[in-house]
Chain A
Amino acid sequence: MKTTIVIIFTVLAICTNSSAFAQAAENNLYFLADTLNVPKGQRILGINEREVSLYENEYVFFCKCIAPHKADLAFSYINTNKNRKENILSKKPNYRYISWKNLATLIEKYQNNFDKVYNLYIVEVLPGNRYKTNLVKLVRYASVQ
């Protein structure tokens, strides 16, 4: 019973913590994920290349720059729409896109708290000059013994 109370307490703490951060999250970042126009060997990220949950779409940056530094930095979003439909535009959204260099700096600074501070939107370049934009969440890893 005591363990149950501890877990509930923890959950409440996490929820409170998240909402506190969410209120402060005013910074929207936009990153252009283009794998179509970059040769495979020169890409900094891969899209849906790893096995993830059915509902999730994942952008993996080839950089073990987040704790516990054993797997690549990744962002994902959940799409539970019927048939996994997406909102696709035929024109590149007119955002001020953040560079990989600046994004990496922010990741290095905020680590697992990154998306409590920033809202990162990834604009994915699709074939035929089409684009889809999604708010993504930092993929967090745990190494347990």
Chain B
Amino acid sequence: MKSINVKSPVWPLSILLLFAFSIHSCKRENLSSSSPASAELIALAKQFYEKETTSFEIRNRQILSSDRIDAPANKTAIELNPLWDRASVETTPQGKRLLTVPIPDFSLATKKNSYARKVVFNTSGERITEGQIIEVFGSPTDIDSNGDDLLRKAADGTLAKFTGAVMTYNLSYIFKEGRYYENGRPRPGVAKIAKSKTIAKGLISLPGSSNINAGKAKLSAIAGSISAITPEFEGQDCENYYLVYIERDEFGNVVYWENRGFLYAICKNSNPNSPNPGGANTDVYVDCNRNVNGNAYEDECGDCVGGNTGLQPCPPVAEIKLDSLKKYFPCMAKLIIAKLENDTLYAKLIQPFQSVYTPGIGSINFRGLPQLTYTFSAQAWGGAGTNYMLGETLYANNSYNSTVYFNSSAIANASELMLQVATIHETGHAYVHYYIKNGQYNIAPPVGEGLPWAMGIVNYGALLDGQMAMGNFVDHSILLNNYFEQMVRILKSVNGNAYSDNEYRMAALYGMNNAGSRPTDPIWSNFNGVDLYNIQKNQLQKTYNDILTKYGISAAQLNTFYQGHISNTPASKKLPLTCP
């Protein structure tokens, strides 16, 4: 058997070579071929960069990259300014050839985290194929000694033994991806930069999350006020930024949340020439109860309610929106609308638009609450067609809301009685629309409001479609059949004995026989040989005529009445010009 002669002079040399080789092997992973970039390649990269960023006006954008589009105007604009003269060509451990350009340093206001960032272009030969901004966040030890190498590895997506976050952005500094690594293994969620934010008004709605109840964070709260961290900012208007790790479920709801540490604060009076700190995100909030992603919000009374506060919001102020009507036609608002609102029957008509209660819905974020807006516009008033419009109402099939446009000529020329009629009539349109839309969702319309005829047996969705095509017919039919007497009672209640019962009836009948123009869809003109439009028009006219017959009102009486209240109204019956 052969033995090894350890005394042989060859052994020390072999051990030395082995040691040198092992050092070389260990270092090879960290080795990078880095060399100055050629002027031509830099020019190409600049060209690529300009092309990608010009449309986003990156050089003039807001301080916070990802929310710059909607950022308040008082945010300070800061330039990104890549340091082109320090551009270099680097090769990643996996052999990618990159052109990297440093971005001016922004010192974090913490010693627990540090970060490195560069603009990184992929190259193919002497071409630029892709560009992005990469940021690596980690311990100061890792970043300060090894930042450039980590950036190269981040470009490969392999960060052995690294603990920290890697963020990538497009060249406009818009967030693309954020991964959090623990000992080189990426966690399933996303890493982001988030600012703490106290919600001032309304419920928070997490961007990217359709569930307002989401956000059950495992940490109870972000670190305290700015002054607790950076005393020099005390009293200033500042926002804190944090490195966060977020996991979401398949629906985008935040299911797990970690604060990985404070990074920096941005104050309103920050030096506008200081380097841009980089990516930001507003995915994570602190609500007014200081709960992360909580649902507490400031109510109408300014109290922090909802969420984990255990407090209920104060009742909202009941109000029909008067838009600009109050400003331009104060007498219409004061002498017509406000006067009607004091009437019990009329109050029922506007009740859906005043109460927070919507059957089956509640008051979540106040979204979906029916809204009624009174405003005005210029509409037909006399002329060749002798068409005198008192007003019109606009609504959509995906909303409970309605907007009533009073005819500005009618406000100036019609009698107060007819303006009351216009208000009740148009509000009636809004009410009927609310009623049908409610029914479409199989939500029982309010009981005791006079369930409109046939509504219990028809399909509300189809009825809504019909309302969109033949709104005048549908609404006027419902109003004539179910609310005509109430309309007369409202007018009588508001005006007392100023007019006779039949005068109130004639006023209330104005425009009620208008079935609207023929819909463009041919189905209404020829449904299996039947002219549906004509049937409906005739039916509405018959209902209208039946009322005239019932109360012995002649066409001549109607004509005379409307002349005295619409086309030739005496000044004594019109609204006053000034309305203190």
Contact = CB atoms under 8 A, between A and B. Distances in A.
Contacts of B532: 9-10, 13
B543 interface: yes
Contacts of B57: 39
Nearest to A126: B208
Contacts of A37: 174
B250 A88 contact: yes
B454 A3 contact: yes
Contacts of B207: 126-127
A54 B368 contact: yes
Chain B: number of interface residues, binned into ranges: 35 or more
Interface in B386-440: 389, 391-401, 429, 433, 437
Most buried by A among B251, B358, B437: B251
Nearest to A89: B250
A4 B371 contact: no
Contact of A140 (B210, B400, B401, B468): B468
Interface string B527-555: 10000100110010011000000000000
A3 B466 contact: no
B454 A4 contact: yes
Given A39-B69, A126-B252, A6 B539 contact: yes
Contacts of B472: 144-145
A74 B183 CA distance: 49
Contacts of B393: 143-145
Interface in B52-71: 56-57, 66, 69-70
Contact of B399 (A51, A88, A113, A127): A51
A13 to B, nearest CB: 5
Contacts of A137: 398
Nearest to A17: B523
A113 B361 CA distance: 31
Interface string A29-49: 000000011111000000000
B558 to A, nearest CB: 17
Interface in A50-107: 50-56, 58, 67-68, 70-71, 74, 76, 79, 83-88
Which of A52, A56, A83, A144 has the most chain B CB atoms closer than 10 A to its own CB?
A144
Given A39-B57, A86-B252, A141 B394 contact: yes
A53 B539 contact: no
Nearest to B455: A7
Contacts of B192: 128
A54 to B, nearest CB: 3
Interface-central residue, A53, A68, A84, A87, by most chain B CB under 10 Å: A53
Contacts of B469: 14, 112, 142
A88 B535 CA distance: 48
A139 interface: yes
Interface in B427-462: 429, 433, 437, 441, 453-454, 457-459, 462
Interface residues of A, number: 58
Contacts of B251: 83, 85-88
A41 to B, nearest CB: 9
Contacts of B176: 129
Contacts of A143: 392-394, 471
Most buried by A among B368, B397, B523: B397
B368 A15 contact: no
B208 A51 contact: no
A52 B368 contact: yes
B520 interface: yes
Nearest to B170: A37
B6 interface: no
A70 B378 CA distance: 13
A108 B110 CA distance: 57
Contacts of B394: 68, 70-71, 141-143
B367 interface: yes
B471 A142 contact: yes
B511 interface: yes
A9 B251 CA distance: 42
B454 A130 contact: no
B463 A7 contact: yes
Contacts of A68: 394
A55 to B, nearest CB: 7
A85 B250 CA distance: 9
A22 interface: no
Contact of B511 (A53, A84, A145): A145
A119 interface: no
A8 interface: yes
A80 to B, nearest CB: 8
B511 A7 contact: no
B521 interface: yes
Given A55-B441, A126-B252, A6 B367 contact: no
B239 interface: no
A40 B73 CA distance: 13
Interface of A: 2-4, 6-11, 13-18, 36-40, 50-56, 58, 67-68, 70-71, 74, 76, 79, 83-88, 111-113, 126-130, 132, 137, 139-145
The 4 lowest CB-CB distance pairs between A and B, nearest first, are: A54-B368, A142-B471, A144-B471, A127-B208
Given A112-B468, A128-B192, 11 more contacts: A9-B535, A36-B69, A51-B371, A52-B367, A127-B208, A141-B397, A142-B467, A142-B469, A144-B393, A144-B395, A144-B516
27 contacts: A3-B481, A3-B543, A4-B453, A4-B454, A9-B535, A10-B536, A11-B462, A13-B524, A14-B462, A15-B462, A17-B521, A38-B69, A51-B369, A51-B399, A52-B367, A76-B398, A87-B251, A88-B251, A127-B283, A129-B177, A140-B397, A140-B468, A141-B468, A142-B394, A142-B468, A143-B394, A144-B475
